[in-house]
Amino acid sequence: MTGSRPGRVWGLVAGEAARRGGRVSAADACAAAVAAVEVTGAWLIAARGAEAGHVMWVTDEVSELLAELQLTLGEGPGPDAWARGGPVLASDLGDSESARRWPVFAPAAGQAGAAAVFVFPLQVGAIRAGVMGLYRDRPGPLSGPELGDALVFADTATLLLLDAQNQAAGEAAPGSGPGGQPAGLAVHRAEIDQATGMLTEQLGVGIAEAFLRLRGYAYAHDQRLSDLARDIVARRLRLRPDPDPLEEGQA
């Protein structure tokens, strides 16, 4: 049933991490996607703001080449997905449309062994973490269920990557309790986005940090993210620009 997709996807991602013997990461989401979506390989590019980004992780040599090529050329489905803020589904790199859009990348990718490329921006609204790319050695579109899975793997990778970026910046990751599911994987509710926007003003921080603080507060107070967001939107709760989420007052 479609309703269980996020749960099923999270199980596959966690299983990948367990096999690897490490903490769940965006790379696990990518690796699990390769198996579940039945693609040949995948890559992960981390980026923030206007930066071009850097290759974080690849499954094979072809993926590495595809990722590097697009970063070097600034051309291809990846840069387009990043610029547009939506996925780019190039189901046949050999067709005229691809040749027109990516005159250098499309033939080069074909030569390397990629016949179809699907790139998903890792984003939550204006919060951007990078892109996840998938490739196949045969042409053809993703089926409906494959696309649905790929999108949820990308959602999962987004949260994991945002946590990792914040950890790298010296902040605690709020989202993933041991063996737990990252907060925010639930059906996306408008209140969560509105509350995130409100927190940028309340806390005087950027949108990515506001989202982190929202999730951190929910995690620290064992609250559902959507309930917390509703309280903030209804102005029953304000967060203070205080680095310790546990110190914050509740109305």
Partner 1 sequence: MDGELLSATFVELTDTLVVGFDVIDFLHVLTDRSAQLLNVSAAGLLLADPRGELRVVAASSEAARVLELFQLQSDQGPCLDCFRSGRPVAAADLAAEAARWPRFAPAAREAGFAAVQALPMRLREQVIGALNLFSADAGALAPADVRVGQALADVATISLLHERSMRHSDTLNEQLQTALNSRVIIEQAKGKLAERLGLDMDQAFSLLRDQARTSNRRLSDLARGFVDGSEPLTGLTVIKTRQRLPGDGLPRPQSPPG
Q: Which residues bind partner 1 (CB under 8 A)?
A: 2-3, 5, 49, 84-92, 95, 97, 121, 123-126, 141, 144, 147-148, 151-152, 155, 187-190, 193-202, 206-207, 233-235, 237-238, 240, 249-251
Decide whether 23 or 147 has the Cβ nearer to partner 1.
147
Closest CA to 59 of 83, 37, 32: 32
Least distance in Å: CB of 150 to partner 1?
A: 9
Edge-to-edge strands, sheet with 41-46: 54-58, 41-46, 127-136, 116-124, 88-90
Determine the Cα–Cα distance for residues 83 and 121; give it in Å rounded to an integer.
9
Evaluate whether 197 touches 159 at the Cβ level (below 8 Å): no
**Taken in order 16, 21, 26, 31, is the CA torsion positive or negative?**
negative
Evaluate whether 130 touches 163 at the Cβ level (below 8 Å): no
Least distance in Å: CB of 159 to partner 1?
A: 14
Evaluate whether 32 touches 42 at the Cβ level (below 8 Å): no
Least distance in Å: CB of 190 to partner 1?
A: 5
Least distance in Å: CB of 137 to partner 1?
A: 19
Decide whether 42 or 198 has the Cβ nearer to partner 1.
198
Least distance in Å: CB of 201 to partner 1?
A: 4
Evaluate whether 70 touches 78 at the Cβ level (below 8 Å): yes
